[in-house]
Structure 1
Amino acid sequence: MTEPNPSAAPSDAADHRLGILARRRIEAEIIKPIYEIMKREFGIERAQAVIAEAIRGAAVDAGQSFAAQEPGGTSIASFVALQVLWEKDDALDVEVRREDAGHYDYDVHRCAYAEMYHAMGLGEIGHLLSCARDEYFIRGYDPRVALTRTSTIMQGGKRCDFRYRMRDGNPAAVDQERKHDE
């Protein structure tokens, strides 16, 4: 997952003006031929496992990079402030259901990411390239925050139901709770 890096060198500044949707298109154009070769050489299961592993690691790294730029530390509020990056370019039709210090709940009713991946012929891995990032990004950004989602448009749902909540407890308790959730 390559997110805008707030601490990037000035030479990278033009690239960071792109919305996340535009960045995902560029990434997908690069990933598509690599994925096709991996499917041919290793089979679909192994190819998808490799893509999933790479995306998960990149998502955690991106979350940590964003977190490092938060002068007052991370919180639900600081995370909510980042959402404009994912919504840029009319990428998502979002209905916020709850927003407070302990929760950020919203539904996505239209997802240009899903539309784009399907149009590019990458619908079978769109959930790996986009949806799967969300859980790992928040782990990197703030391990006290948990994401629950039961449905995604990418995988045929009528909506994506994002439910972020601040977990109680110390980091060890959060790690234990996360292992239980998996």
Structure 2
Amino acid sequence: MTVLTTPRLRLEPIGDQHLDGLHAMNARPEVMQYISGQGETLEQTAAFVARVKRGWAAWGAGWWALIHLDSGRVAGAGCIQHLRREAAIPEDLLTLCTNPLEIGWRLHPDFWRQGVASEAASRMTAFAFEDLAAEELLAVRHPENLNSARVMDRLGMRYRGLETWYGRELATHVLRRAHWSSLHRAAG
């Protein structure tokens, strides 16, 4: 499992050691507003950790805990994983391997408006294109989640429209490797 770093973060594959920090974030209704609409119980967060571990085993990618280097706290979580159309999680995660790769993130409110999501998303995008050789990367969001839309814009993603993912109509953004490479050549 791959550990990634940025100037302010260490992205660690989520494991049992992250449960308390993840629950401190996922229990907050404002964090889950556009995901489930309510904060998670400790049992729900533990089930999330178990699913994430299955994802890493199946795909060699999944969710990372975003560890803030200065404080050592779980600042958030981010992922590179396969999207699914259905709300229900299949028993065999390998059936999702033909679906596009998704980038996603969520942050503890203590780390909002500090560029942490963009910093983590930029590093995860590089992992998807450089290490996994993905040709494109999708991101989905609740149509009203404008903060995530701004992070997607900063990554160079383009809005594609409303599509069904996770059993819901979600705003879908796309970034192709060729476009990402040209943005990085221009910036470098």
Under a length normalisation based on structure 2, what TM-score does the superposition of the two structures give? Answer: 0.31
Please identify which structure carries the higher strand content.
Answer: 2
Please identify which structure carries the higher helix content.
Answer: 1
Structure with the greater relative contact order (CA < 8 A, sep ≥ 6): 1 or 2? 1
